[in-house]
Amino acid sequence: MQCPKCSAGMEVVEFQDIEIDRCLRCRGLWFDRLEKEDLKRLEGAGSIDIGVEKDGTEYNEMVFVECPKCFSILDQVEQEEPYLKYEYCRTCHGSFFDAGEFKAYISDSQVGEKS
Ligand SMILES: [Zn+2]
Ligand SMILES: [Zn+2]
């Protein structure tokens, strides 16, 4: 698979039987449908996000990003608290996080209520 943002190759990274794709260059992460939700529940899942945020932010402004799986144009999703912007495919329901964004995405689940 090719990185939808920088076109470099992606490696498969496994975390507790969930396989995600990580870009060898920009360290962006591709999640198939529901994988990011599954990972969010697992402790230590942030370790797959090895990039530094500054590597990711230079790609944040890309508007037309093609889905690496089905080649639809990805939607940009913005969420508050923690603020982040990621790409989401309406067709195959995969999503792409720039380096550093996945850590932000799961961080709200690792503070607060559930111990
Ligand atoms: Zn990349
Ligand atoms: Zn897709």
Give the tens place of pLDDT for each residue, 15-27: 999 999 999 999 9
- Please tell me the predicted confidence (pLDDT) of residue 113: 47
Distance 79 CA to ligand 2 centre (A): 20
Q: Which residue has the tokens 């709200």?
A: 108
Distance 113 CA to ligand 1 centre (A): 35
The answer to whether position 3 is within a domain reads no
- Please tell me the predicted confidence (pLDDT) of residue 52: 80
The answer to whether position 113 is within a domain reads no
Q: Domain count of the chain?
A: 1
Distance 7 CA to ligand 2 centre (A): 16
109 — pLDDT class (breaks 50, 70, 90) = low
27-60 pLDDT tens trace: 999 999 999 999 999 999 999 999 887 766 677 7
Q: What is the mean pLDDT of the chain?
A: 89
- What protein residues have CB closer than 5 angstroms to ion ligand 2? 67, 69-70, 72, 89, 91-92
Distance 24 CA to ligand 1 centre (A): 7
The answer to whether position 37 is within a domain reads yes
* Distance separating alpha carbons of residues 86 and 69, to the nearest angstrom: 16
pTM: 0.88
The answer to whether position 95 is within a domain reads yes
Q: Write the burial class of residue 49 (CB in 10 Å: 0-12 exposed, 13-18 middle, 19+ buried).
A: buried
What domain range includes position 85? 10-107
The answer to whether position 70 is within a domain reads yes
pLDDT top residue among 76 and 109: 76
Distance 53 CA to ligand 1 centre (A): 13
The answer to whether position 24 is within a domain reads yes
Q: Which two tokens stand for residue 104?
A: 């932000």
- Please tell me the predicted confidence (pLDDT) of residue 111: 52
The answer to whether position 2 is within a domain reads no
C-alpha distances in Å from residue 23, one per residue of 41, 46, 55, 83: 23, 16, 11, 22
> Which residues face 55 on adjacent strands?
none
The answer to whether position 5 is within a domain reads no
pLDDT top residue among 81 and 41: 41
